[in-house]
Amino acid sequence: MKTTRHYLDHNATAPVLPEAREAALRAMLLVGNPSSVHHEGRAAKRELEKARAEVAALISARPQDIIFTSGGTEANHLALRGLRLPKNADGAKDAAAFRPLIINATEHESVLAAASALDGRPDTDGVTRNQMALCPVDQDGLIDFAALRHCLAESSGPALVSIMLANNETGVIQPIAAIARIVHEAGGLLHCDAVQGLGRLPIDVGAADGPDCISFSAHKIGALKGVGCLWLRPALGLMPFITGGGQEQGRRSGTENLPAIASFGAAALHARQQLGAMKGIAALRSYLEQRLAEIAPEAEIYGRAVERIANTSAIRMPGLSAETQVMSFDLEGIAVSSGAACSSGKVRTSHVLKAMGAASQACGEVIRLSMGVQNTMEDIERFLEVWKKIYDRARSRRPLSMS
């Protein structure tokens, strides 16, 4: 008998939307290479630019400021490795490469890895980068403003700061406008990983106080996996690290993955039309967290005191490892994840919860539930029923305390 599945892991990836699948299939049938000048090439180019326009519309950007990449990971690496100060007034050459890097402690691994790879290394143009500074967060996961100001004051020159919009494990939203003001006042540039915010929060790159460069990923909003983009403020220089054919205005070479990009365009249009649906998701989460508090007041929810993206809940079940919980939920037909699972599927200590000051045992007992537009109250009721079942079973097996 086939059990009904309840997919509650949208921060890992979202199911492909029907319109995204159709767009991918349509693009797959196009013969041409978007860089070719003949009829077939021009048809492929039209499809590419249509998708770019849709992605741009979702974030109120100019299409020409969008650079398609293979995903959020590559966009983050491109930003951290390649971002340059605005061109000199005479436009003759790029200003000096960035030296200090200031990274939020709860960033996605791709940002942390890109920053550590650069730490202390000479840049392509021979400029040595200073040590990377990790900026701490408070117990709610919000960036510590005093520490950020301190890092900026201590840096030996204008810094490149990278702070995410919404955390992938807890959903905590950083106050990006206030952060951008602080960074800009200090003469720095702000990169923002907005992978988990796209389609869940309104994003307007033209807003007065905003990041200079933003990373996005397509598969979190129902497009195919393996595509994303970097938005870059006009006039900022970007040193490409994939060179060759000069695609994407020379900023990211390689023939574009047209089917995936076309699906990104279709998913972006869907996301623009569906932003209102986040209200319904927020109501489901409120219900879930309220009921959970009734079932087990000792269960903890990380980041609950501050603004979070509406679809995410990081829940601690005291006394049972996240790994066991994830497997138990799976056997009951529910897909959730341990916030700290890595690509190998192994669970490791969450650097996000650790940075928020959670004790190491607690860090290992937190699972992440993340919803999408397809989820309903039925999914939440089932989750609560199974959560209680797993918790009751774990408690009944726990040895009696002698204290």
Taking CA atoms, 60 is separated from 130, 272, 279, 332, in Å, by 34, 10, 21, 42
Question: Within 191-220, which residues bind ligand PLP (CB under 6 A)?
Answer: 193, 195-196, 217
Quote helix, strand, coil % in the chain, to nearest 5: 40, 15, 45
Instruction: Using the minimum distance from each CB to ligand PLP, give the nearer residue, 168 or 313.
Output: 168
- Stretch near ligand PLP under the rule CB under 6 A, chosen from 188-196, 198-206, 318-326, 372-380: 188-196
Q: Which is nearer to ligand PLP, 32 or 339 (CB)?
A: 339
On whether the CB atoms of residues 213 and 79 are closer than 8 A, the answer is yes
Q: Is residue 21 within a helix (H) or strand (E), and if so which, with residue range?
A: helix 18-28
- Contacting residue, 24, 44, 73, 80, with ligand PLP by CB under 6 A: 73
Measured from the Cβ of residue 198, the count of other Cβ atoms closer than 10 Å reads: 26
> For residue 322, what are the contacts with CB-CB under 8 A and spacing of at least 6?
338, 339, 340, 347, 364, 365, 366, 367
Q: Which residue type sits at 369?
A: L
Written as six digits, the tokens of 365 are 């007992």
Spatial separation of the C-alpha atoms in residues 118 and 79, rounded to whole Å: 12
Q: Is 72 in the site for ligand PLP (CB under 6 A)?
A: yes
Rank residues 32 and 141 by Cβ distance to ligand PLP and give the closer one.
141
Q: Count H helices, E strands: the chain?
A: 12, 15
CB of 117 to ligand PLP, least distance (A): 16
Interface map 97-136 toward ligand PLP (x if CB under 6 A): -----------x-x--------------------------
Q: Which of 228, 240, 364, 372 binds ligand PLP (CB under 6 A)?
A: 228
Q: Check if 342 is active-site.
A: yes
- The encoded tokens of residue 73 equal 């990971």
Report in angstroms how near the CB of residue 329 gets to ligand PLP at its nearest.
19
Q: Which is nearer to ligand PLP, 68 or 383 (CB)?
A: 68
d(CA 47, CA 260) in angstroms, rounded, equals 11
Q: What CA–CA distances, in Å, run from 196 to 35, 128, 158, 348? A: 31, 32, 27, 21
The site string for ligand PLP over 136-175 (x = CB under 6 A, - otherwise) reads: ----------------------------x---x-------
Shortest Cβ distance from residue 307 to ligand PLP (Å)?
A: 16
Size of the site for ligand PLP (CB under 6 A): 12
Which structure tokens are listed for 167?
């955390």
Q: How far is the CB of 217 from ligand PLP (least distance, A)?
A: 3
Nearest residue (CB) to ligand PLP, 217 versus 257: 217
Which tokens in the block code for residue 94? 């790029």
71 binds ligand PLP (CB under 6 A): yes
State yes or no: residue 281 binds ligand PLP (CB under 6 A). no
Nearest to 164 by CA among 153, 179, 154, 150: 179
Interface residues toward ligand PLP, by CB under 6 A: 71-73, 108, 110, 164, 168, 193, 195-196, 217, 228
Q: Which residues are catalytic?
A: 342
